[in-house]
Amino acid sequence: MAKTREIEFKSMLTENEFAMLCQHYQLTSDAFKTQTNCYFDTEDYKLRSLGWGLRIRLYADRGELTLKVPAAEGGLWEYTDALTLETAQTLRTQGTCLHTGAVADKLQEAGLSATEVKLLADLTTKRAEFSIPEGLLALDENFYGTTHDFELELEVSDPVHGQAAFLQLLQQLHLTYRPAENKISRAFKG
């Protein structure tokens, strides 16, 4: 289990902006890896009401179960349990999450049982991720429901300096800031 702090800034992109960034950073199709996020909540959205997000992420060779919880100092705390690919795929097929581990323990602390959460949406992302001086940059092409969109994310270690760096990066790249709802919210609507 890992507990990490996530601080990221996002902006939606047009398809043309996405293509421009791929050219700017010299990204070929080989730079993009596919991941599928399987989003969970209770039927009455108890996690969303707490501002929490729960997902299983499937990579080509493994999976992970992650619970995102708002951090008082900004950003999110992520509680993650590593999964074998087989376990992740089984949980997705069953529409359930792991009933033991750090995520289940954190749910229990909030008075919730892992048995209450169900798979509600999937979102598949083709992501290129790489370090730049400002932080970890990700270019995402997302597919969910009938929606296909594009997003730029910058993950940083400091919320104040990170926001300034993100806005400066957008300006340098001649991009308009377009607020991005988190992926779980978009997938639930998608």
Q: Does residue 61 belong to any structural domain of this protein?
A: yes
Concatenate the DSSP letters of all residues of 118-178 into one string.
EEEEEEEEEEEEEEETTEEEEEEEEEETTEEEEEEEEEES-HHHHHHHHHHHHHHTT----
pLDDT value at residue 1: 57
Residue 167 has pLDDT above 70, yes or no: yes
Q: 83 with 1: CB under 8 angstroms?
A: no
For 14, list phi and psi in degrees, rounded to 5: -80, 165
Report the number of distinct structural domains present in the chain. 1
Q: Does residue 86 belong to any structural domain of this protein?
A: yes
CA dist 186 and 101 (Å) reads 27
| 65-74, 89-98, 121-130: the lowest-pLDDT one | 65-74
Q: Does residue 7 belong to any structural domain of this protein?
A: no
pLDDT value at residue 4: 86
Q: Give the CATH number of the domain where residue 19 resides.
A: 2.40.320.10
Length in residues, the chain: 190
Q: 151 with 142: CB under 8 angstroms?
A: yes
**Residue 25 structural domain:** 12-189
Q: Say which residue, 140 or 2, is predicted with more confidence.
A: 140
pLDDT value at residue 101: 94
pLDDT tens for 38-59 read 999 999 999 999 999 999 999 9
